[in-house]
Amino acid sequence: MTLLVVATGNPGKLREMQAYLADSGWELTLKPPELDVEETGETFAENACLKASQVAIATNNWAIADDSGLEVDALNGAPGVYSARYGNSDADRIARLLRTLGNNNQRGAQFVCAAAIARPDGTIALQALGVCRGEILNAPRGNGGFGYDPVFYVPEQNLTFAEMTSEVKRSVSHRGKAFANLLQQLPHIEM
């Protein structure tokens, strides 16, 4: 099996990617903890490519990275690539988002996830994107998930991300869609 280094320090993300790529024929492993890559890109795709590329070069292995966040229509796509840096905790970030939106009745939003795989020389072998449309509620609902999940409502399911089981969230979420797309492309990858 070919080794695929996951460009994250987060064991939760490693487990999630292992679930998506279970039958893909790749052996996933975490990046070395001392290896840090700054997310300086202006788009999710740029950040995913940057992280995959730099980790591939530093470890001389194939590497995979993803980058994701929330784009709110009425805020011109903010917080976008700054989603993780929008506050100091999930509660802070949600409070700031609801405060900023106020009574605005334009509540449309989308979660976006970009994923990229880089070859050991840093060149990008594959990219995938997943988008999930929804609406920002006026108050949180549900106890599951993480991040902005309790205020992100998906009309087709009549549930927020925080009210979904992880199976349902995986099937409709931006990350689930990005990885489904990545899996389809994997057999055609140029080694």
| Active site members | 67
Q: Are 180 and 24 in contact (CB under 8 A)?
A: no
The window from 15-23, 62-70, 120-128, 182-190 that contacts ligand IMP (CB under 6 A) reads: 62-70
Burial 132-150 (b: 16+ CB within 10 A, else e): bebbbeeebbbeebebbbb
Segment 90 to 109, residues that bind ligand IMP, using CB under 6 A: 93
Provide the Cα torsion 100, 95, 176, 119; round to 10°.
80
111 binds ligand IMP per the rule CB under 6 A: yes
Q: Are 45 and 126 in contact (CB under 8 A)?
A: no
Q: Which is nearer to ligand IMP, 88 or 103 (CB)?
A: 88
68 binds ligand IMP per the rule CB under 6 A: yes
Q: State the Cα–Cα distance between residues 52 and 37, nearest whole angstrom.
A: 9
83 binds ligand IMP per the rule CB under 6 A: yes
Q: Which is nearer to ligand IMP, 26 or 111 (CB)?
A: 111
Minimum separation from the CB atom of position 1 to ligand IMP (A): 26
> Hey, what are 143's tokens?
């106890």
Q: State the Cα–Cα distance between residues 136 and 107, nearest whole angstrom.
A: 5
Q: Binding ligand IMP by CB under 6 A: which of 161, 164, 177, 182?
A: 161
145 binds ligand IMP per the rule CB under 6 A: yes
Q: Are 42 and 66 in contact (CB under 8 A)?
A: no
How many residues of this chain interact with ligand IMP, rule: CB under 6 A?
Answer: 15
Q: Are 67 and 81 in contact (CB under 8 A)?
A: yes
Minimum separation from the CB atom of position 124 to ligand IMP (A): 18
Q: Binding ligand IMP by CB under 6 A: which of 69, 134, 140, 176?
A: 69
Q: Which residues contact ligand IMP by CB under 6 A?
A: 67-70, 83-84, 93, 111, 145-149, 161, 173
